[in-house]
Amino acid sequence: VIKGIRHFLSAHRRVPVRREILSLISVGIALLIAGALLTSFQYWLLRDSLRQDLSVQARIVGDHVQAALAFQDKKAAEEILVALRASESIAASTILDTDGNVFAHYEQKADGATPVPALRAARPRREEMQVEHVIDYRGTRLGTIRLTASLHQTYIRLAVFVAATLVTLAMSMILAKLLVSGTHKNVKRAEERLDYLAHFDPITNLYNRHAFNERLDFAIERSQRFGSRVALLLLDLDNFKTVNDTLGHQAGDVLLKTVAQRLLLKLRRGDTTCRLGGDEFAVILENIPDGHQAEVVAQKLVECIAAPFKLDSQEAFVTASCGIGLFPEHADSAANLIRNTDIAMYHAKEAGKNIAAMFRGEMNKKAARRIDIEGGLRLALERDELELYFQPKMDFRRKRLMGAEALLRWRHPEHGFIGPAEFIPVAEDCGLIIPIGAWVLRTACMQAAAWNREGRDAIGMSVNVSALQIKDPEFISIVADALSLSALPPHRLELELTESILMEDVQSSLVMLRRLRGLGVHLSIDDFGTGFSSMSYLKRFPINTLKIDQSFVADLPADKENAGISQAIIALAHTLNLKTVAEGVETASQAEFLSSSGCDYLQGYLFSPPLPASQFTKWWDKGEYIAS
């Protein structure tokens, strides 16, 4: 809408002063012509009414002088004429006999007093009007009466009319001018505001996306002309959403403003800083000597954002991931530079966030594969390319199988098997994790129930759940449907969630976890120890199990630090009345150590890698639980 209004305004730009004067003059001329026409019409009206007046009077006087004429009584005729002095406009009146000779005459003097009979010319003067009326009696012509009126009064009236018209015209012109200039001022103000909105972000006062595109185009044009180098930095805040959701949108706005101020403090005047929307910022550096210089600036920006933010009474921690792209090294156009810098930014995010990454050619290949994966993933469910593998979870001391974890695999028609670590993040990004996650839940529950029906021992079934699924309001009914469809007892299903999922939005996570526990399913925290969960939340979350992350299991028991951490997690879990599962157990000594430290269950290649259902049952039936 704003674009449309701007377009309209720029097409009807403020009239330049000279044109404004010209248009005022032409309006004035038009008004004057209208005034002149009105005046002529008024003159004609006045003359016409005077003529009618004279005609009426001539007829009346004519009727009165019939007798005087018939009896040739000049005196009587003159007396009748004298009576006309009451009429201001009549300057002279003459009665002519049938031969055209003057019979009686009366002329009004300037003082209007005494009648002085005198002869008047037959033709009226210029400022006079004459009316003649034939006097007859029953068809016999007796003579003629001629009345001469002065136009003096008419001219005075006309002059008053003209003056009034001129004053009215002048006042209308002034009013019109005032109205027009008032409108001009408003239009100008609106135009300035629209211009601001079109180019600036109102929250941070930085250039917006529109201005960014313009500026980047200019920078690239200059770089092509002068052979200089442009660096583009794209910054994306890593955990802005958490701040926005937990501290509110106002705090989020304050944080964005502060980020903008920090960026500006670190940059030079010639650099262009923009907010592209949401938590994305862009910086254009012109005349940058080399890529290293751009990296130095990017590093400074990433560091300045990582410092804590004071929002009201709270402290917030936000980091940024930054992509760096160079023109002409990394792209041949503005659009490609943005695209490749964006790829570098995603790379920085994937590499652990809070860093800056320079674009490299091979990133493009990765991005292309990602696009490929995203396209293929949409069809994977339909084409039945997804499959669940199962990995046993053991009670090591009793040498018993306790449960299985369902792990997703994708048989890609071209790329072969693709691991979940690669395609689950893509599925999360494009929302496909919702239908895929529902399929996993259904299939895992059906499989567990099917094993039950085959008369096997009842074991638990663990299913991994993504952040997006937990946020989905339908998730509860998806879980309930999977349970009722498979008739699996709810306590046999365990959902694995990571700490970061739960900490992203503690309040709504708590609500969702309670509802899931209400269904009777078990909950466990996966990869425990790698995220940040606060002890107080851990106590409040209605969970059953902690899964010790594989990184703490590696090199046990030799690695003293890992030994300490895994023992601490086991102790913590038991204090909170939770079970523990260790993941990634590959050696017997790891298993011995963990088991003697009190870990309840173990999972890892020592027992079996994840297997397709048919191989899993074979492994189960063999009963040789330790892999050789």
Interface positions with Mg ion (CB under 5 A):
464, 496, 526-527, 583
**Nearest approach, Cβ of residue 593 and Mg ion (Å):** 19
Which CB sits closer to ligand C2E, 424 or 445?
Answer: 424
CA distance 581 to 602: 5
Task: State CA 77 to chain mean position distance.
Answer: 96
Residue 466 binds which entry of Mg ion, ligand C2E, none, with Cβ cut-offs from 5 to 8 Å by kind? ligand C2E
149 binds, among Mg ion, ligand C2E, none (CB under 5 to 8 A by kind): none
Smallest gap from residue 583 Cβ to Mg ion (A):
5
CB of 628 to Mg ion, least distance (A): 25
- Contacted entry of Mg ion, ligand C2E, none for residue 50, CB cut-off 5 to 8 Å set by kind: none
Least distance to ligand C2E, CB of residue 421, Å: 5
**Residue 618: in which H helix or E strand, if any?**
helix 613-622
Residues in the chain: 628
Tokens of 1: 């809408």
352 makes contact, choosing from Mg ion, ligand C2E, none, with CB < 5 to 8 Å by partner type, with none
CA angle, corner 614, sides to 611 and 620, nearest 5? 75
Specify the residue, 85 or 471, whose C-beta has the smaller distance to ligand C2E.
471
Nearest to 237 by CA among 280, 207, 274: 280
φ and ψ at residue 575, rounded to 5 degrees = -60, -40
Binding site partner of 419, from ligand C2E, Mg ion, none, Cβ cut-off 5-8 A by kind: ligand C2E
Q: Which is nearer to Mg ion, 279 or 526 (CB)?
A: 526
Q: Are 566 and 556 in contact (CB under 8 A)?
A: yes
Fill in the amino acid letter for 210.
Answer: H
Torsion angle defined by CA atoms of residues 518, 484, 427 and 534, in that order, rounded to the nearest 10 degrees: 20
Residue 440 near which of Mg ion, ligand C2E, none (CB within 5-8 Å, type-dependent):
ligand C2E
Q: How many CB atoms lie within 10 A of CB 300?
A: 15
As measured in angstroms, the least distance from the Cβ of 5 to ligand C2E is 47
Q: How far is the CB of 485 from ligand C2E (least distance, A)?
A: 17
Contacts 24+ apart (CB under 8 A), 248-255: 251/311, 251/312, 251/314, 251/316, 253/203, 254/311, 255/309, 255/311, 255/316, 255/318
How far is residue 222's CA from residue 243's CA, in Å, rounded to a whole number?
Answer: 39
- Shortest Cβ distance from residue 389 to Mg ion (Å)? 12
By the 8 A CB rule, do 153 and 91 touch?
no
Smallest distance, Å, CB 519 to ligand C2E?
19
Residue 311 or 569 with smaller CB distance to Mg ion: 569
CB 322 within 8 A of CB 304: no
Specify the pairing of strand 416-418 against strand 102-107. unpaired
Peptide bond into 490 cis (omega under 30): no
Q: Which is nearer to Mg ion, 201 or 526 (CB)?
A: 526
Coil/strand/helix, residue 105: strand
* CA–CA dist 232, 283 (Å, integer): 6
Q: What, of Mg ion, ligand C2E, none, does residue 421 touch, CB below 5 to 8 Å by kind?
A: ligand C2E
Q: Which is nearer to Mg ion, 478 or 581 (CB)?
A: 581
Closest CB to ligand C2E among 61 and 585? 585
Supply the minimum distance, in Å, between the C-beta of residue 319 and ligand C2E: 23
Closest CA to 81 of 149, 151, 145, 143: 145
**In the complex, least distance from residue 576 CB atom to ligand C2E, rounded to whole angstroms:** 21
Name the binder of 147 from ligand C2E, Mg ion, none, CB < 5-8 A by kind. none
- DSSP 8-state secondary structure symbol assigned to residue 84: G
Write the DSSP string, 248-287. -HHHHHHHHHHHHHHHHHHS-TTSEEEEEETTEEEEEE-S
408 interface partner picked from Mg ion, ligand C2E, none, CB below 5 to 8 A per type = ligand C2E
Q: CB of residue 501 vs Mg ion: minimum separation in angstroms? A: 12
- Give the residue with the Cβ less far from ligand C2E, 343 or 602: 602
CB of 410 to ligand C2E, least distance (A): 10
Q: For 288, what's the count of Cα atoms within 13 Å in the CB-facing half-sphere?
A: 30
Of residues 341 and 464, the one with the C-beta less far from Mg ion: 464
Q: What is the spatial distance between Cα 434 and Cα 379, in angstroms, rounded to a whole number?
A: 14
Residue 391 CB, nearest approach to ligand C2E (Å)? 6
Q: Could you identify the residue written with the tokens 């009584």?
A: 73
Nearer to ligand C2E, 179 or 430 (CB): 430
Nearer residue to ligand C2E within complex by CB, 345 or 606? 606
Distance CA 475, CA 403 (A): 23
Give the residue with the Cβ less far from ligand C2E, 113 or 421: 421
DSSP state of 603: -
Residue 505's closest CA among 278, 247, 237, 279?
247
Which among Mg ion, ligand C2E, none contacts residue 604 (Cβ within 5 to 8 A by kind)?
A: ligand C2E
**Smallest separation, CB 458 to ligand C2E (Å):** 22
Q: Which does 438 bind (CB under 5 to 8 A by kind): Mg ion, ligand C2E, none?
A: none
Q: Per the structure block, which two tokens stand in for 287?
A: 């005349």
Give the binding site for ligand C2E (CB under 6 A): 391, 407-408, 419-421, 424, 437, 440, 464-466, 496, 526-527, 550, 583-586, 604-605, 610
Phi (first) and psi of residue 542, to 5 degrees:
-80, 65
Sheet (strand 320-327) strand order: 272-277, 280-285, 230-237, 320-327, 356-358
Could you tell which of ligand C2E, Mg ion, none binds residue 124, using a CB distance below 5 to 8 A set by kind?
none
Choice between 309 and 390, CB closer to Mg ion: 390
610 binds, among Mg ion, ligand C2E, none (CB under 5 to 8 A by kind): ligand C2E
Residue 35, contacted partner among Mg ion, ligand C2E, none, CB below 5-8 A by kind: none
Residue 284 backbone dihedrals phi, psi, to 5 degrees: -110, 120
Residue nearer to ligand C2E on the CB measure, 107 or 499: 499
